[in-house]
Amino acid sequence: MTESADTREADLALKAKHRAMWALGDYPAVATRVVAGLGPVLVDACAVKEGDRVLDVAAGSGNAAIPAALAGGDVVASDLTPELLAVGRGEAEARGAVLSWQEADAEALPFEDAAFDTVMSCVGVMFAPHHRAAADELVRVCRAGGTIGLLSWTPEGFIGRMFATLKPYAPPPPPGVQPPPLWGKEEHVRALLGDRVTDVVSRRQSIRVDAFSAPGDFLEFFKAAYGPIIAVYRYIGDDTERAAALDTALTDLAAGALRDGAIDWEYLLLTARRSD
């Protein structure tokens, strides 16, 4: 087998693992119970209006795609994991939102160049393993003068620190795979987009999460619902000592961040205009 064929096989295997990981647990419950407010924030920042052609990349169950459709956008929600799209379809129907749902790899989007007025992603594209490839696709499918909008967890924020806590217990990433929270650093995103965009506006904000009144509540919910955490515990397997150590580390993380019954989760909100 040639090196390029080996690379393609490895990439397909990696994407299959990512697809399976996000199907674990109940990510839609995280989207609706914990971070529902993020989607409307991104839609507002992108100024989606009636008739805009909108692509939500790594849309999950539609946290941003559904509000964009309700704002009048002609929306396509794309994601690698069909199980999430299926939940999104039901949620959209319940809310009276009309949009399209399409299984797609963020690093190889099945859309024509310049097909959309707005290309956005809400804590989604940051989990694509190859940042440059994903960024290139975001730019490619956005028309000249169109908007690219990204909302990503920061490395220093609660979720960024959660991934740092998981790292010693997780399998080593394959070569070339970059940490998701790098998308929460403005300089990293600017470097990915380069001179293909102008009018970059970014700011760090937080969503106040009051779904967990105690650190143990956070641990219990995320161990049951959040695919990346479930995958790490499965990797640990029957090693009860390491599992207990990770329980303690995650509980301590939540305990240190909990203030007055809530935790502030920091994110980077960045918008830019596709260069002419």
- How does residue 1 score in pLDDT terms, banded at 50, 70 and 90? very low
- In this prediction, residues 94-119 reach a mean pLDDT of 98
Per-residue pLDDT, 2? 54
In CATH, the number for domain 3-155+171-206+265-274 is 3.40.50.150
- In this prediction, residues 143-157 reach a mean pLDDT of 98
- In this prediction, residues 7-15 reach a mean pLDDT of 89
Per-residue pLDDT, 4? 72
Per-residue pLDDT, 3? 53
Cα diameter, the chain: 58
171: which residues sit within 8 A by CB, 6+ positions away?
235
- In this prediction, residues 37-41 reach a mean pLDDT of 98
Whether the predicted pLDDT of 140 surpasses 50: yes
CA distances from 116 to 48, 165, 206 (A): 12, 38, 28
Per-residue pLDDT, 275? 97
Per-residue pLDDT, 264? 98
Kindly report the pTM of this predicted structure.
0.96
Mean pLDDT of the chain: 96
- In this prediction, residues 197-203 reach a mean pLDDT of 98
